[in-house]
């Protein structure tokens, strides 16, 4: 099994009514050198300017991105080439990130290589520390790469945190 850290940027709160703008993925392995960056053109005429602004991408730029089907095909191929067995989806906020990836995979490929579950980094850290009140502490302690809403950078920072937690004793496989 391979852990794949994913981060998504979108132009609204939910798939289908709004669009995924871009996403990044990183394989959890010591060098963190296996990355994927997907940029998808809008699938909806609806968009929230403040939501899109988080990504630093304009609507005009967003409209020039690739067809979502092609991006998801490329991502599925990358996953099959860079993970062992079924990949495990992990993110800072899978309630947000996973819904986008899941919806786009099912809509454009008919299936999600990640299956139907995901892991949340904050919950892993809280479990390690036996304290549910430490939800966001890991972000300050372990990320090296600046969280700047470039989804590859954000996924890298989250992967760095996971490797630091692994060094602290978290039993998590890293390729």
Active site positions, annotated: 149
What whole-number distance in Å separates Cα of residue 23 and Cα of residue 9? Answer: 6
Cβ–Cβ under 8 Å, residues 90 and 99: no
Name all contacts of 142-145 with Cβ < 8 Å and 24+ positions apart: none
With vertex at residue 24, the alpha carbon angle to CA 19 and CA 29, rounded to the nearest 5 degrees, is: 155
Helix axes 151-167 and 121-129, enclosed angle (nearest 10): 20
73/160 Cα distance (integer angstroms): 27
């Amino acid at each position: 099994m391979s852990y794949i850290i994913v981060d998504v940027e979108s132009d609204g709160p939910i798939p289908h009514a709004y669009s995924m703008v871009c996403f990044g993925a990183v394989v959890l392995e010591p060098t963190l050198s296996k990355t994927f960056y997907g940029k998808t053109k809008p699938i909806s005429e609806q968009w929230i300017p403040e939501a899109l602004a988080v990504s630093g991408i304009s609507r005009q730029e967003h409209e020039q991105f690739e067809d979502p089907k092609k991006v998801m095909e490329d991502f599925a191929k990358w996953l099959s080439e860079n993970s062992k067995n079924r990949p495990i989806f992990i993110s800072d906020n899978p309630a947000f990130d996973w819904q986008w990836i899941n919806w786009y995979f099912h809509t454009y490929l008919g299936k999600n290589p990640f299956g139907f579950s995901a892991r949340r980094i904050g919950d892993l850290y809280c479990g390690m520390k036996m304290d549910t009140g430490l939800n966001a502490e890991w972000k300050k302690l372990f990320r090296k790469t600046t969280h700047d809403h470039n989804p590859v950078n954000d996924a890298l920072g989250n992967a760095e945190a996971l490797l630091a937690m692994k060094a602290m004793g978290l039993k998590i496989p890293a390729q």
